Amino acid sequence: MKIKKAVFPAAGLGTRFLPATKASPKEMLPVVDKPIIQYVVEEAVRSGVDNVIMVTGRGKRAIEDHFDKSFELEYELERKGKLDLLKKIRKIAKLAYLSYVRQKEALGLGHAILVAKNLVDDEPFAVLLGDDLVYSKIPCLKQLINVYNKYKCSVLAVERVPREQIHSYGVIGGTHIEDNIYQVDELVEKPSPARAPSNLAIIGRYVLTPRIFKALEKTQPDQGGEIQLTNALKILKAKEPIYACEFVGKRYDAGDKLGFLQATVEYALRRPDLASKFKAYLKDLDVNLI
Ligand code: G1P
């Protein structure tokens, strides 16, 4: 079955970016001049998935407005003859087919996905987390879809992370199948380095079979009262195989201040309109500024 739908959990409070996220969604923070969420929606579209289900919450209206038509803005840009910008702005509203559903309480990633159940229906689907930006020739989600098309089961994007960071991720233990593909044997959410089955961390891209919804319904909340997707995947694994793909590309944790700064610098350096001036500025930058 073709992957047509992508769920974007976007209800989080963005506490790591306060005060910036007090009144604005963290998904709308710009990397150079584009909100993070737009990069991720573009990745889904480039992967052939243009049916986007956004799981939002209170205070997230700006996301809907961003992907909507903006009559006043378009009128003004047209009137002023700023046609390049006008084209860019119009493209955003046509990027994907968007649906919105609200997660009323912050009960975890697994719960957010469960909220999208009725909109996903009984078909395999993708999940993309806005905190992770992946720069790659073949979109990260497309790499997972290629694995799904071959094995017809859920596929998780994984990356090797240093031991000291392992506690921030869901971690898998796996059997190497071919090239960069593993069959998942073990899953642990945010383990201590001693309990981690490997250094292969799950990053925010998934292809899931619809059976995950049953697993999510059975998943007990963790100590913090949240329903973890990783724990539901454990239940799913008892019923059907799960694969992991060590994707090719550079990932930025844009939900973290340092990762966000790294993404900003590197995405700017890749921009033809900024690269040379920005590079020159960075070269001359006095690192002893303070
Ligand atoms: C979530 C998942 C975790 C995964 C991570 C990837 O954690 O629970 O398994 O490794 O996303 O970004 P969060 O970062 O929301 O705490």
- Quick: pLDDT tens for 47-83: 999 999 999 999 999 999 999 999 999 999 999 999 9
The pairing of strands 132-135 and 34-35 is: unpaired
How far does Cα 51 stand from its chain's mean position?
A: 15
Query: Torsions phi, psi of 241, nearest 5?
Result: -65, 150
CB of 189 within 6 A of ligand 1: the answer is: yes
pLDDT, position 289: 67
pLDDT, position 212: 98
CB of 129 within 6 A of ligand 1: the answer is: yes
User: Among all chains, which residue has been given the structure tokens 């990260």?
Assistant: 140
In a domain, 160, yes or no: yes
pLDDT, position 290: 59
In a domain, 34, yes or no: yes
In a domain, 110, yes or no: yes
Residue nearest to atom 6 of ligand 1 (CA): 203
Comparing CA positions, the residue from 38, 137, 138 lying closest to residue 96 is 38
Determine the structural domain holding residue 55 and report its residue range.
5-271
In a domain, 288, yes or no: no
The CATH number assigned to the domain holding 95 equals: 3.90.550.10
Question: Is 263 in contact with 133 (CB distance < 8 Å)?
Answer: yes
Q: Cα of 170 to ligand 1 centre, how many Å?
A: 6
- pLDDT above 70 (res 168): yes
In a domain, 286, yes or no: no
In a domain, 36, yes or no: yes
What residues contact residue 283 under an 8 Å CB cut-off, 6+ apart? none
HSE value, Cβ hemisphere, 13 Å, CA-based, for 33: 8
In a domain, 230, yes or no: yes
- pLDDT above 90 (res 285): no
| pLDDT grade for 287, boundaries at 50, 70 and 90 | confident
Q: Cα of 289 to ligand 1 centre, how many Å?
A: 35
Helix (H) or strand (E) holding 100: strand 97-102
pLDDT, position 166: 96
- d(CA 67, CA 244) in angstroms, rounded, equals 31
DSSP code, position 57: -
Query: Torsions phi, psi of 23, nearest 5?
Result: -120, 0
Average pLDDT over residues 104-115: 95
> Across-strand partners of 190?
none
What's the mean per-residue pLDDT of the chain? 95
In a domain, 284, yes or no: no
Q: Give residue-wise pLDDT tens across range 179-228.
A: 999 999 999 999 999 999 999 999 999 999 999 999 999 999 999 999 99
DSSP code, position 165: G
Residue nearest to atom 11 of ligand 1 (CA): 204
> pLDDT over 90 for what percent of the chain?
95
CB of 203 within 6 A of ligand 1: the answer is: yes
The amino acid occupying position 61 is: R
Question: Is 237 in contact with 231 (CB distance < 8 Å)?
Answer: no
Q: Give residue-wise pLDDT tens across range 121-134.
A: 999 999 999 999 99
HSE value, Cβ hemisphere, 13 Å, CA-based, for 5: 22
What residues contact residue 214 under an 8 Å CB cut-off, 6+ apart? none
pLDDT, position 125: 98
| pLDDT grade for 92, boundaries at 50, 70 and 90 | very high
Q: Cα of 204 to ligand 1 centre, how many Å?
A: 7
CB of 232 within 6 A of ligand 1: the answer is: no
This prediction has a pTM of 0.95
Number of structural domains found in the chain: 1
**Which is more confident, 12 or 96?**
96
Tokens (6 digits) for 229: 């997707």
Helix (H) or strand (E) holding 229: helix 229-237
